[in-house]
Chain A
Amino acid sequence: MTRRRARLASLCVAVLTPLTWTHARAGTFSYADEGTEDRIAHPSGYTGSTASLTVSVCIDPTSANAADMAVPVQNAIDVWNGQAETTGNLLAANVPFAEYDFESLALHEVGHCIGLGHPNVGSQAGIPTSADREYTASTDGNPAMTGDWNLGAGTDGIIGTDDDVRGDDENLHYFRISNNDPFTLASTVDSTTYSKDLTDLPVTHLYAANCDRDVGADLGYANTECVMQQGTSNGEAQRTLGHDDVATLQYGMSGLDRTVGGSDDYTVQLSYAGLTPSCDIVIDFDDAQTSFAACSTVGSFLDFPTNNHIAITSANVYVNTGTQMGNEFDWFFNPVRLGTTVPTLPHWGLLAIALFIATVGVRVLRRVA
C-alpha cells in the first residue's frame, strides 16, 4: 500500500494534465485560461454595443424543489441587481448547521452564468490541499498546463494576500491598482483603475490579493468574503455581494475597450421569469450534471479573431438534489423574501412619526368638536 501511494504521488506529477482546454482554469472571468488570460465573458445579449441588457432567470418547472427555489432565486436576482458591496456577509443566518444554503449557492452560480469566474484558483488539478484552493486565481504558467503551481503564502503565512510568492503562475485576478485591496471599490471600475498585470501592483506588493475570508480578516474585514470565491460551507449564508464581486461585474460592463464612457459600455439587470423551461439562465436540479452545483454556459466570440471577449449565449445552473445514495446532503431553502423582513429602524421611525401626527390630529379634532 505504502509503495503504491508513493508511486502514485510521483505519477500524479507526471500525468496530471487532462483538463479539457475549453474550461481548464477558472479565473476572475469565465473562459480565462492558459493562453487566453485576457478573455472576458459578458452576459447574454451583449453584442459589443448594447447599452442596456436584461438577462432572464427562470426555474425549470419540472425540476425537483422548483417551488422551494422561487424565493431564494428572486432574492439572488435582487442582490445582483443592487450591485451593493457589503462587508460582514458571512453569517449563520437561518441556515441549519448541517445544511447548505441554496440562496447563497444560487447567488454564486448566477454570477458564473453572467460571466464571472473565481477570484481563487479553486479546485483545479494539481492544487495539493483544500487550503491551497484559496490562492489567487492564476494559470500555472506552463503552456502544457501540467499543474506545476507555485504556491507560497509569503511572510505573513496567509494564503491569498499581497505577499504571496507565486513564481511564474500568471495572475488572472483583476485587482484595484491603487491599493490591491479587494474589500474596497473604486468609484470608476475599468482598466484605468483595475488590472491583472502584476507590474501595476503597489510597490511593496508581490501578487494580487483575493477576497477570501482569511484575507479579509487580515485586512480588518471580519466575516467577509466575496460571493464568487469558490467554496460553499454548510451552515453558512452568504447572501450579499462583496466589493470584488461588484468590481468584476462592473469591469465587464466597461465593454470591449475596458474603458468607462465608450459606446460599448453596458448595464445589466436580471429579471425573474418564473417557472418556465426557457430563458437566459435556467436553474434546474439535475443529478446527472453535477454532484453538487455547476453553471454550464455556451458563448460566442465578439471580437474575432482576437477572441478576448465572449458573450454568453446560453446558461444553465445545475444543482444536485443530495438525495441519491452515496451523495446525500441537505439543502436549505430560505423562505424569507427580501424586503419582507421586519422593518429596520428608519421605517419604525417613520411609523412612529405617523402615529404621533395621527394621535395629535385626533386630539385636535376632539377639542375642536
Chain B
Amino acid sequence: MSPKPASRIEAASGQAWAGCLGRAAGSNSVSWLHLGFAAIDGLILLQVGLERRLEAAAILTAVFLATPLSNELINRSLASIGIEIAEAVRVAWNLGDALLVGHLTGWGMGAGAYLLLLIVGSGVLLTPSSLWRGAVLWGGTLVVAALDGGTPIRWLPLGAGTAAAFFLIRDQSKVIAQMLDEAVAGRGEIERARRELGAIHDAAVRQEKLAALGMLAAGIAHEINNPMSFVGSNVSLLHRELKALPTLPEPLREWVDEILPETLDGIRRVNSIVADLRRFARNDRAEMEPFDLNEEVEAALRIARLQVKGSCALVRDLGPVPQLLGRPRQISQMLLNLIVNAAHALHGRDRGIVTVITRRAGDEVLVAVRDNGVGMDESTRARLFEPFFTTKPVGEGTGLGLAVVHGVVADHGGRIEVESAPGAGSCFTVRLPCQPTHVPAPESRPTGTWRLDAIQIRAAGA
C-alpha cells in the first residue's frame, strides 16, 4: 500500500486560490494572459495561458490536469470552480461554486444556470466527475472565484481541442480512484485497530475489576469463616445434644425437628458460598498433578446429569488430548459450572443441547461448552465473571459459578473466550496450556496478581 494517500484527499478543505487576468494587445489581435495559482494541501498549481490560441490552451490544460489535483479535489474544493459555456451559463461546478449561489446571481448569470445551481445546491453538492469531463470535452471557460465572492476569474478556454486533456483526466481519475480506495481501506484498517485496542482496554478494565473483587472476596471469605466456624459448631452441638435427650418438652421438639436443621442448612449454604468465593480468589494451594481432561469432562457430565435431570441433551465430542498438569478437582468443578450454566440458559426449551468439545490446538488444549439457548447481550457479557453477578431470579443462583470458572482458568494459566449473542446461544471456550507456564501459588494473603490475558470476550461473528 502506498503511504497514506488519505491525508491528501481528506484535507482538501485547506486551500488557497488566486488568479489574475491581463490584457495583452498585439499589433492586429488581442490576447488574454491568464495567471492562476492554486494550492490545496501542499499541492501547488500554477497556470498560465493565452486565450484564442488553442495549442497553448490545450497544453496548459494538460499541465493542469496532470497534476495530482484531480476531479475529486476540484469537486470537493470550497473555492468556487465552474465551467461556463457562455457568459454566466455554467455546465459544471463544484461544491464551492454551488455554495456561492447568492454571489453568482450578482454576476448576472442566466436564469437556467441559476436554476441548475439551485437544484445542485439543494441536493447534490458534489458534481460527479463525469459532468466535469463532459464539460471539458464539450467546451467552455473555467471560472474560478474566491470564496468571498470577489470578481470571478475566467481562466481556461476549453473546447473540442481539449480531447487530449479529457484522456488525461480519465487516467488521472483512475489513479485518484485507486488512491480513494486505498484511503478507504486504510481508514478501515485504522478503524479495525481502534476497535481491537478498545476491546483490549475493556478486557483490562474488566480484569482489574475482577482482581479487586478477588481480593475483596478472599478477605471476606476469611473473615466470615471464623465466626461461621463457631456458630456452626455451637448450633450443631446444640442440635445433637437436644436430639440425644430421651424426653423433650413440646416447644423444643420443633427446634430439634425443624428449626435447628433449617438453621444448620443456612449455615451450610453460607459456608459453601464462602468456599466458592475462596476458589474465585485463587487461594487453593493444592499441588499440581497430571490429569486427563477427558476424564474430568466425563466426571463433570455425570454430576451434571443428576442436576439437569433430563431437561436437555448433554452431548460430548471428545478428541484426543494430552495429559495436562493442574488441579483436576478444580477443573471438574469448573466444567460442572459451565455445563450447568449452559443447561440453565436453555430455559427448558425443546431440543436444548449442551455440547462439550475437547480438542488439541497447537500447544494448547481447548474445552468448549456450547449451548443453543437464549444467549447473552453485550451488557451481560461484560459482567459475566463478576462475583454475585447473576441473571437468574433471586434464590436460584449465587452468581459465583462463572466467577469460580474464571478463578480456576486463571489459576491454570489458561484463557477463557466467550461467544454469544441474544437468541444465538453461547459458547465458552477454555484454553489450557499443554505445558503450564509456572503459575506461582499465591501467598496466604490475597494479592491482586491476576493474569491480564485471562479473558477475551467477543460478540458472536465479530
Q: Do chains A and B stick together as partners?
A: no
